[in-house]
Every structure is written in structure tokens, then in C-alpha cells.
Amino acid sequence: MEVAYIIETLIKIVVILLVFSALAGFGTYFERKILAFMQRRLGPMHVGPFGLLQIAADGIKLFTKEDIVPTNAVGPIFKIAPVITAATAFMAAAAIPFLPQFTIFGYTVHPIVADVNIGILYILGVMAVGFYGPLLGSLASSNKFALISAARAASVFISYEVVTGLSLLAPLMMVGSFSLIDFNNYQAGGIGDWIIWSQPVAFVLFWIAAFAETGRTPFHLVANDHEIIDGFGTEYSGMRWGLFFIGEYANMFFISFVIVLLFLGGFGDGSVLGALGFLLKMSFFFFFFLWTRAAWPDIRPDQLMWLCWKVLMPLAVINVVVTGFVMMF
């Protein structure tokens, strides 16, 4: 029994690692294609049908590139930083149920690595560790742009963590559990039961904060191409830079899963239709990340801070208080 459990968990871990590393690759492909279509271009076309093999070409390029560590960089920290980003992104995945449980060859599979009873807080905590990747990477690479990026990373992530936590508080009060499976079961009754209808403010706040946590475009200040080159990634090359990238895209996927599970019903009653709907909803949120990148300019750092502390945080607090009052009476 014990051995079977360990083997099952190991298989799940390997599957998640492989699937999401591959998906991260596909994510870059989708991003290029979608951005291209929105700008009336074709995007990658030459390698393979519709440019699909571009991912493989990119992978080969990243793997075979010379791995440069700048002379003045602080070697060990410089080397370990990308690993932190990628590793924490996948660690967060341990508490996410990716599909409803299903039976294969008479063996019931729960597509979640560990249904810890503190699921959401675990994900938030691991994400809090995750931004050490950019932070340490940029501190260690002895580059002025990277240093600006480090300062921005620290301030942005610390600020938006507050918004994420506070916005989640109200739905948590309603469901009364931290497990994402409990969240899903709470909303299993159909569209009418989705938390988004009772907690629209929390939903919007969490969505906005998700952009900041993953560092996507409106809040893409940590690696803002047109002012600080690539921020923390300026001095990185080859697979080290690739690990940052994998971490970022895996994070985008995971946070899309989390948003759907928290606010949009997850996989519902667990039927095949529910599972398909789950993936569809998740894809929409992933697509929205790319859509925003095509449609919106970046905002200034001070605007980002203004938004966090003077708009989002008070709204989140008010939301929590109102939810408390409604639940009490």
C-alpha cells in the first residue's frame, strides 16, 4: 500500500513535470501566434506545419547555446536563481487538482499530487518563494538594469501578495476550507453556484493580482524590454534563461487553473463534460494573458504601486468586511 502510494505519487510528479514543461514550450508558440494574428502578421511559419516545430527549434537553440556566467557575477547565486523560479513553479502545482478523479484499469486516480488541507495557502506560500528567482538572479548578475529589476521585483511582489491574500479571504470565508477540492465541490451545483456571482470583486482583484504575480504585461515591469532590456534576464543565456521562461509560463498555466478552480466552478461535478469545460475555461484565462499583452501598454512603477495600495487593497478590505457582515446576518 505504502509502496503503491509512493509509486503513484512519483508517476504523477513526472507526468506533471513533463506535461507542463511541454506546455510551457507550446505557450511560447501560442503567444507568438496570437500576438502575430492580433497585429495582422503570421508569426512563426517556416519550421514545420504552421511553424509548430518552432518550439523544438527554440529548445535546441537554448540547449546548445554557450552558457555564459559574467565575470563579476556572484557565481553560485547566479546559477541557482533560475532553478528557484522553475522549481517553485512546479512545487506550487502539487496542490492543484488538474482533472476530476477518474478510473483507469480499475484503479482510481486522483490527478492531484497532494490534497493538503491548506492547498491555497500552500500555493500562495510557494509563489512567495518563487520570486526569489528573479530577485536573486538580478542581484547576483552585477548589471545595472538587473539591479533596477531586482528593486522592482521586491516591491511589486511584496505589494501584490497583500492583494492576493486579502482578495482570497472573502471566498475562503464562504467555503470554509483551504482545499481546492472543497472549493470545487462547493461550486459543483452548476453555473449558479459559481463563486464569481457572489464574489465578483474578489474575482477581479485576484485576476489583476495574478497578472502582477506572474509578471505579465500591464505589470511587466520586472523585465520591461523597452527600458531595462530584460531586467533579471539580461545577463542570462542558454538554458538558464530558458528555465526562467519555463517557470514564467508554467506559473501562467497554474494560476489560470487556480482562478478557474476558485471562482469559476472548476471541473464541476467531475463528469467528462465538466473536465472539458475546466480545460476550456483554463485556456480562456491563459489566452487572456496573451490578449492583454497585445492590447495594453505597460504602466509605470509608481502607477503600479498606486493601484495596489490605494485602489486594490482598500477594495479587498471592504470586500472582506462586507462579506463578513452578509454572512453574519
Interface positions with another protein (CB under 8 A): 74, 77, 116-118, 121-122, 124-126, 128-129, 131-132, 135-136, 139-140, 147, 150-151, 154-155, 157-158, 161, 178
- Decide: 289 and 255 in contact? Cβ < 8 Å: no
Tell me whether residue 55 or residue 136 sits nearer to another protein (CB atom).
136
Tell me whether residue 116 or residue 279 sits nearer to another protein (CB atom).
116
Nearer to another protein, 94 or 264 (CB): 94
* Residue 259 and residue 213 in contact, taking contact as beta carbons nearer than 8 Å: no
Instruction: Return all residues near 12 (Cβ < 8 A) that are at least 6 apart.
Output: 111, 112, 113
CB of 207 to another protein, least distance (A): 21
Smallest distance, Å, CB 50 to another protein?
42
Q: How far is the CB of 305 from another protein (least distance, A)?
A: 13
Q: Which of 176, 168, 166, 180 is nearest to 265 (CA)?
A: 180
Residue closer to another protein by CB (options 50, 309) is 309
Query: Which CB, 17 or 77, lies closer to another protein?
Result: 77
Tell me the closest approach of the beta carbon of residue 169 to another protein, in angstroms: 13
CA–CA distances in Å: residue 100 to residues 93, 108, 324: 15, 11, 31
Shortest gap between Cβ of 98 and another protein (angstroms)?
A: 23
> How far is Cα 219 from Cα 150, in angstroms, rounded to an integer?
14
Alpha helices in the chain (DSSP H): 2-38, 54-64, 75-92, 119-130, 132-140, 144-175, 180-186, 195-198, 200-214, 225-228, 238-263, 272-295, 301-306, 313-328
